[in-house]
Structure 1
Amino acid sequence: MELNTATLDRMPASVIVPDYDRTAVTPGIAHLSVGNFHRAHQAVYTDRVLGIPGQSDWGIVGIGLLDIAPEAEKAAALQAQNGLYTLTECPSDRPDVVRVVKSLVEYIHAPADRVAAIRRLADPAIRIVTMTITEGGYYMDETGRFMSEHPAIAEDLKRDVPHTPFGILVEASRLRRNAGVEPFTVLSCDNVPHNGHVARNAVLSWAELRDKELAEWIGEHIAFPSCMVDRITPAVRPADAARLNAASGVNDLMPVFCEDFIQWVVEDNFPVGRPAWEKVGVLFTDNVAPYEQVKLRMLNASHSMMGIPGVLMGHRVVSEAMKDARIVSLLEEFLGFDSEPQLTAPPGISLPEYGLLLLNRFRNPAISDQLLRIASDSSSKLPVFVGDTARGVLGKGQDARRIAFLLASYCAYLTGRDDHGNTFEVVEPRLGADDRALAMDENPTRALEMSVFAGWGVDENPQFSSIFVEMRNSIRERGVAATLEKILVH
């Protein structure tokens, strides 16, 4: 069964199709960089809300940003399917649930016509711009300063028609201001602490370098609320797509699968309106920070703590790694001894219970996310997910072996070879040559000077440096698995 508007009423009986009238839906949200996570998370909440009377003007316009072949193929596929796709939700203890998501009503591949994409954002109907551009996509250094000298940003500032998310948002804002159109709200949905503040900083910094007067207008008129997002959504490989389509009976060119857990906590700051997301499970609050800290420093940090050593121990998927008692013990000890003591639980959340839930989510065999994907771009992820916990552990003089083990494992990961001699691709697009040289320096402590660890205090702590060197030497001589066995408390 093909998937498009004409076939919606002929989907297999096992596939859930929302019953709202899609022909009545008009776009009110634009999303920059439409990855699998957006399609399994924000688009799902919006799909739910479109079924509520009076909410039909909140459809989504997807805007792809990257000028690479897979993104062009994604655009062609979604356009051929009229923005429709199947989402398979995979509980660990019940049959999968397949549904068609109808909220993505338009898709634009910006590299094909950047001017048209910017004009679409300038449309008065678009009142919210959401984005998922990854942790490293904001070009912030360890001090929170926008890296205006970065080649990607410096080049973008020279263009008449910008390519970066910030340039696109600034140019669309210029068109709206000049036309007397109300500004949109910008909602970052990335795993970045205080993501609203970070997005505001990036947009204003870019604008100030281009047009100070416009930057003042943006600073005065555009809201940048923060939010916390959570749903484990693996990459979809060709074998996954074939498996999903065989199970659903739908020939979907862009299927997605995910766990059944979903959470979204949002700062309620939308001056020009928003969907009634609170009616479909979104939690609105005045203070997102406690929720985002729990998620980043427990779930995302645990992913890194599992992913990097797991790859080196020869594991390749999460559910496989979670069958290794050594990795499970590492995560339990990291959460209980390192992460949870540095956190303040937000209302309604028990940190120990949250930790147990995380481990159960990781065990879900239906998800089996790729460890290499989790380990990729760790130079951007580790400062966000682990930096605060490391500072807390060192500041309180607590046992730093697990943090040292992770950092030593990261250095070993950069070699691209696991304990068994198997090679793997190292994907670290934001790790410069200087940092790579430090990681491979004959003096193992030089690695602590890498920009990845800037501000953690690890290079200034003799006791930590000693433990780190011990870990690196052990990994070189015995491997990651044997080193892990040595540091476990139980």
Structure 2
Amino acid sequence: MTSSDNSAAAPGADRATAGIVHIGIGAFHRAHQAVYTDVAMQAKGGNWRIIGVSLRSTDIVDALNAQDCAFTVIERHPDGPKALRVTSLSKAIAASRDVAPVLDALADPEIRIVTITVTEKAYGIDRVSGTVQAEHPAVKHDLVNPATPTGLLGILVAGLKRRKQAGIRPFTIVSCDNLPSNGVLLRNGVIDFAKRSDPDLAGWIKDNVSFPSTMVDRITPAATATTLSDARRLTGMDDPAAIETEPFSQWVIEDDFPDGRPAWEEAGAILVHDVEPYELMKLRMLNGSHSLIAYLGQVGDYRYVRDAMANEAFSQLVAQHMENAAATMAPLAGIDFSNYGAELVARFRNPEIAHETRQIAMDGTEKLPQRIFAPACDLPQDSKKIGTFALCFAAWMAVMRQRVNTAPDADAELLNDPRADEIIEALAGYQDAADIYENLAKLPGWMPRQLQDSPFLREAVIERLAMLLSDGADAAIAHEINA
């Protein structure tokens, strides 16, 4: 864990050369891995600056390059904001404009690590089988056009192919996204993608490329006009790439870097042999609670997480859900789940963090399986503890129903979910809780059979969904904490 409390750039970081390519240079990367790398270079040196790649957006690339890729991180402390100037980025590239500079960077022998923060849906990997989703638009394009890839897997495989052809050791690939066993998942997807066009390359990747798993944590809301004005006030500079975040930060990393790495532990990173227990803790207690807050918040018109947590009943429900989630996990040495949950509640209550529930609520079909379904499967199906999981699932359904009702012309964009078209079709004409449940629960390939076959869960979700639709979020929350 690390909390920066100064506004100085890391001395020497801006003079080092690049050793990392990062794919997905959104706000989270700039608040997290970029800061850890900055601190690591300040403490121990090394040529570990970052070449940032944006798969889609060009605006952030232009903003960063216009200011030599230095940017401001505003930490929202309860006693006021503090600014940190970060200089670990060396340049930014927009892959959507031209992928050639990205592939050139990946082929550079000086690049030893590729880190990744993209959306869950950008991976194009089936979570169950570990194989690529052949109909994923980027996967489909890149399998046919391997020299001009547009998606994550295609770009990684093209970069590895160039290194193999040139006799250069491969880079280590590090997923920093909220996916269970993210290193294993990405390894399986990359190998399967390569196998479909170049089995020899797939074998080389399997034998030579390291994919350490990680767990990341730092609440990073979308930047606003206030973010930019605070950056100007605190640093004296205009910074269109400024971001804001909470003081807390955590990074747990499987220490498997054959060609070295920055001294991230100097910034508080935890290097371990097995990330999975930490990953489960975070996915189930933090991310699962975030989803619960987000969907109930959307139903109950709570714009920000802090607004929801200011409601004592809502806050009590969140603490109850964390306790229920903790019951699904084996003990973790050195970690007290009760203390961890209390720390999460305090973070969620931070009045200086404006984290929109709508932002967290996006892509529910990608997030609920690991945040809600997986832990629910680890509880006895007649357990009272399953109630908060059922409420979260019901709240997601209520939000989808609400958004479809809001858009008479069935605007898929309003749902903000990769399976929006399927959801709209499933809900067509249905307003009753039981019908909504039956149609959304049977979306193919996302709800575990164990839960589909559970009459106890079905009844629990329908009961809570009916209350949400008729009486609203606050009534459902009050009912849950008093059940």
Residue of structure 1 in register with 2:105 after alignment: 120
1:305 maps to what in 2? 292
From the superposition, tell whether residues 185 and 306 of structure 1 become closer, same or farther in structure 2 (CA, over 3 Å).
same
Query: Gapped runs of 5+ residues in structure 2?
Result: none
**1:95: Cα distance to partner?**
3.4
Could you tell me how far apart the structure 2 residues matched to 1:142 and 1:460 are? 20
C-alpha distance in structure 2 between counterparts of 1:472 and 1:452, whole Å: 22
Normalising by structure 1, report the TM-score: 0.90
Task: Give the structure 2 partner of residue 462 of structure 1.
Answer: 455
Q: Distance in 1 between matches of 2:182 and 2:14?
A: 34
Is 2:321 the counterpart of 1:334?
yes
Partner of 2:80: 95
2:115 to 127, 130, 141: 130
Q: Note the C-alpha offset of 1:432.
A: 4.5
Q: 1:418 to 1:353 in 2, by over 3 A?
A: farther
Indicate how the Cα distance of structure 1 residues 285 and 19 shifts in structure 2: closer, same or farther if over 3 A, else same. Answer: closer
2:417 paired residue number: 429
In structure 1, what is the equivalent of residue 142 of structure 2? Answer: 156
Structure 2 CA distance for partners of 1:433 and 1:182, relative to 1, 3 Å = same
Aligned length: 469
Q: In the aligned structure 2, how far is the partner of 1:205 from the partner of 1:432?
A: 27
Return the offset for 1:73.
Answer: 1.2
Offset of residue 474 of structure 1: 2.0
CA contact (8 A) 1:313 1:420 kept: no
Aligned to 2:267: 280
Matched with 1:292 is 279
The alpha-carbon deviation at position 396 of structure 1 amounts to 6.1
Structure 1 residue aligned with 2:199 = 212
Q: What whole-Å deviation, never above 9, does each CA across 1:25-47 have from its counterpart, x for those lacking one?
A: 00001100101111111111100
Deviation track 1:114-159 (CA, whole Å, cap 9, x = no partner) reads 1121011110000000000122222233524331233331122111
RMSD: 2.4
Q: Identity, % of aligned pairs?
A: 33
| Aligned counterpart in structure 1 of residue 43 of structure 2, from 48, 52, 58 | 52
Once residues 420 and 432 of structure 1 are traced to their aligned partners in structure 2, the CA distance between those partners, rounded to angstroms, is 14
Give the whole-Å Cα distance in 2 for the aligned partners of 1:125 and 1:183.
Answer: 11
Q: Which moved more, 1:97-106 or 1:438-447?
A: 438-447
* Matched-pair contact (CA < 8 Å) for 1:29–1:59: yes
Structure 2 counterparts to residues 193-272 of structure 1, below 5 A: 193-272=180-259
Give the SS at the match of 2:338. Answer: helix
Contact 2:292 / 2:395 at 8 angstroms: preserved in 1? no
* Closer, same or farther: CA 63–310 of 1 in aligned 2, 3 Å: same
Gaps of 5+ in 1: 1-13
CA-CA distance at 1:439 after TM superposition: 4.4
For 1:25, the equivalent position in structure 2 comes to 16
Indicate how the Cα distance of structure 1 residues 316 and 476 shifts in structure 2: closer, same or farther if over 3 A, else same. Answer: same
* Structure 1 residues 444 and 414: alpha-carbon distance in aligned structure 2, compared to 1, 3 A threshold: closer
Are the structure 2 counterparts of residues 210 and 418 from structure 1 closer, same or farther at C-alpha, using a change threshold of 3 Å?
closer
Equivalent AA in structure 2 for residue 273 of structure 1: G
Q: Distance in 2 between matches of 1:416 and 1:274?
A: 47
C-alpha displacement at 1:211, in angstroms? Answer: 1.1
**Separation in structure 2 between the aligned mates of residue 476 and residue 427 of structure 1, nearest angstrom:** 17
**Bigger CA drift: 445-454 or 386-395?**
445-454
In the alignment, is residue 405 of structure 1 matched against residue 388 of structure 2? Answer: no
Instruction: Evaluate the alpha carbon distance shift between residue 427 and residue 469 of structure 1 in structure 2; reply closer, same or farther with a 3 A threshold.
Output: closer
The 3-state SS of whatever aligns with 1:52 is: helix
Q: Secondary structure at the match of 2:177?
A: coil
Do the aligned partners of residues 20 and 330 (structure 1) sit closer, same or farther apart at CA in structure 2, a change above 3 Å counting?
A: same
Q: 1:209 to 1:238 in 2, by over 3 A?
A: farther
Alignment of 1:373-412 (within 5 A): 373-395=359-381, 397-412=383-398
- 1:273 and 1:297 map into 2 onto residues whose CA distance is 31
Q: Which residue is equivalent to 2:72?
A: 86
2:165 corresponding residue in structure 1 = 178
User: Post-superposition shift, 1:244?
Assistant: 3.5
What's 1:64 paired with? 54
- Match of residue 188 from structure 1: 175
The answer (yes or no) to whether the contact 2:24–2:55 under 8 Å persists in 1 is yes
Q: TM-score, normalised by structure 2?
A: 0.91
What amino acid sits opposite 1:42 in the alignment? Q
Q: Cα gap change, 1:23/1:40 in structure 2, threshold over 3 Å: closer, same or farther? A: closer
Change (3 A) 1:402 1:182: same
Counterpart Cα distance in 1 of 2:416 and 2:358:
11
